[in-house]
Amino acid sequence: MKVIVAPNYEEMSKIAAKEIAKLLYVKPNAVLGLATGSTPEGVYRELIELNKAERVDFSKATSFNLDEYKGLKGDHPQSYRYFMNSKLFNHVNIDKNKTHVPSGVAENIEKECKEYDESIEKAGGIDLQLLGIGTNGHIGFNEPSDFLNLNTHETDLTEDTIKANSRFFDSIDEVPTRAITMGLGSIMKADKIILLASGEKKADIIAKLVEDKISTRVPASMLQVHQNVLVIVDNAAASLLKNSSNNEIEYVK
């Protein structure tokens, strides 16, 4: 795992956006794996600016999002389809037909999950997967558990996650308790993975991700066996990393 420590959230976001822009420059029809949450919002803002300045072109790109709440339609303001449209897709020259978010209201969820993985395969697989990380170590909605799923699947959300995400809803009772998420296998098949984390509250999980043993209780720790993972964090999220780490850590000024 390579770790880049940026001085702040803005710089972290710029570094990640540049990686995406670089990929689209060398491979205009790249397949992007995208994430929701507060963390990647800065990356999307930066990509919108780069797109306006004609420094990144999404016209041939395809995207697949990690997850969606069960029961929320794409026009629900807290759905992840709505998030992606409003934070990125509506503002760049991407073909919306080539943007994919699992449907939270599919009649047959099992079929929806199977077809989601098949569509990723058909598109040629994900070139670059962007990830956030939950304070409990989840990636997508792959929550800490004794067992992890390989493929896209329906899952329960943990209390931690429901609580963390309740900040976007009027009350905690409105937070969906189930979701559809890409599995660890779907994520690990990506050619390159960029995981982002910002702020002191992510410091503990970042130290676990980078320095602890692999455990299904920290789903993100599985990334340690992937060949091409770039962890980009700000100073606060890096604050519990020890220098004794075996990983390559680069501090950016």
- Among 135, 132, 128, which Cα is nearest to 231's? 132
Q: Judged by CB under 6 A, how many residues of this single chain contact ligand PGA?
A: 6
Q: Is 136 a catalytic residue?
A: yes
Any idea what DSSP says for residue 89?
Answer: G
Strands 153-156 and 178-181: antiparallel
Q: Is 212 a catalytic residue?
A: no
Give the contact letters, 125-154, x = binds to ligand PGA (CB under 6 A), - = no: -------xxx--------------------
Query: Which one, 94 or 206, has the nearer CB to ligand PGA?
Result: 206
Q: How far is CA 21 from CA 15, 60, 127, 171, in A?
A: 10, 13, 13, 38
Among 35-43, 45-53, 55-63, 224-232, which window interacts with ligand PGA (CB under 6 A)?
35-43
φ and ψ at residue 62, rounded to 5 degrees:
-125, 150
What are the structure tokens assigned to 76, written together?
């629900």
Q: Are 69 and 33 in contact (CB under 8 A)?
A: no
Q: Minimum Å distance from CB 53 to ligand PGA? A: 26
Q: Minimum Å distance from CB 136 to ligand PGA? A: 8
Figure out which of the listed residues 37, 104, 137, 183 binds ligand PGA, where binding follows CB under 6 A.
37
Does position 38 interact with ligand PGA (CB under 6 A)? The reply is yes
Query: Which one, 98 or 234, has the nearer CB to ligand PGA?
Result: 234
Active-site position among 11, 117, 143, 234: 143
Cβ-closest position to ligand PGA: 37
Query: Which one, 30 or 197, has the nearer CB to ligand PGA?
Result: 197
Q: Is 143 a catalytic residue?
A: yes
CA dihedral 32, 233, 43, 60 (to 10 degrees): -20
Does position 195 interact with ligand PGA (CB under 6 A)? The reply is no
Helices (DSSP H) in the chain: which residue ranges? 9-26, 41-52, 80-87, 109-122, 159-165, 184-188, 203-211
Does position 194 interact with ligand PGA (CB under 6 A)? The reply is no
- Among 40, 69, 64, 14, which Cα is nearest to 180's? 69
Instruction: Provide the 3-class DSSP secondary structure of residue 35.
Output: coil
Q: Is 46 a catalytic residue?
A: no
Note the residues at the interface with ligand PGA (CB under 6 A): 37-39, 132-134
Supply the residues annotated as catalytic: 67, 136, 138, 143
